[in-house]
Amino acid sequence: MSHSQESGGRRLDRRRFLTTAAVGGATIVGASALGGLDAEAAFAEPMPSLDAAIPAAFAEGRIVATNRNVLDVAGSHGERHLIQLTNATSIWKLRTTTAEAIEVGDGLYARGAAMPDGTIAADAVWVNIVNVYVTIRGIARDRLHLTHGNEELVGHIVPDTTTASYLGGALTADLSRTRIGQEAQVLGAWRPADGAIDIARVSLGH
């Protein structure tokens, strides 16, 4: 208990320090400060690559074991990956989270750098992420009933997390503009236990 309070305190101190650095002496990049006015300016020249010396690596599969910060992953095509998590690894499981949220049996998609010993040092890990095109067939207080082809799916609404985008607009917590019969794209986290989806984002009317 005292340990977690202590680490929580450290976390807040660190955030406070980073906020001061971020807001204090920061470079302001706005529309008029650097470059052209439209976003497409970025495509005028190719982006520099991350780091040519380190080969980029991708891994995808089900987690069969976790050992401290190493995930043992069985790929969909019979391959095996060892994925090393560091404190610079971002972890997504419905929302930005930490390594403690990862469970054996979860699906995973990881991006990182291939290490000489064969492991992958992960930059970013997405756990149970799914992206499906669906039709909304029913709306309840805490879930959407969806069909993907002929398959029925349940999409759970998660308070403070589920967002919606209408006609390509900004993501909003306002879900009340969903309609039965609409086509939608759902990004979310699959629940291995019952096959349902916790919805992170539902995009409508694109």
Contacts with other proteins by CB under 8 A lie at: 15-19, 21-23, 25-31, 33-45, 47-51, 88-90, 92, 95-96, 123-124, 126, 137-141, 150-152, 157, 159-161, 163, 169-178, 180-181, 195, 200-201
Q: How far apart are CA 88 and CA 79, in angstroms?
A: 25
> Considering beta carbons, is residue 6 or 151 the nearer one to other proteins?
151
Number of other CB atoms surrounding residue 178 within 10 Å: 16
Q: Which helix (H) or strand (E) holds 205?
A: none
Closest approach, Cβ 145 to other proteins, in A, equals 9
Residue placing its CB nearer to other proteins in the complex, 19 or 64: 19
The C-alpha atoms of residue 65 and residue 73 are separated, in whole angstroms, by 7
Per DSSP, the three-state class of 15 is: helix
Which amino acid, 31?
Answer: A
- Buried residues in 12-39 as b, exposed as e (16+ CB within 10 A): eeeeeeeeeeeeeeeeeeeeeeeeeeee
Instruction: Indicate the residue among 65 and 172 with the shorter CB distance to other proteins.
Output: 172
Q: In whole angstroms, how close is the CB of 10 to other proteins at the nearest point?
A: 13
CB of 170 vs other proteins, minimal distance in Å? 4
Give the nearest distance from C-beta 191 to other proteins in angstroms.
14
The CB-of-6 to other proteins minimum distance in angstroms stands at 18
Judged by beta carbon, residue 40 or residue 117, the one nearer other proteins is 40
Q: 14 vs 80, which CB is nearer to other proteins?
A: 14
Whole-number Å distance between alpha carbons of 164 and 157 = 11
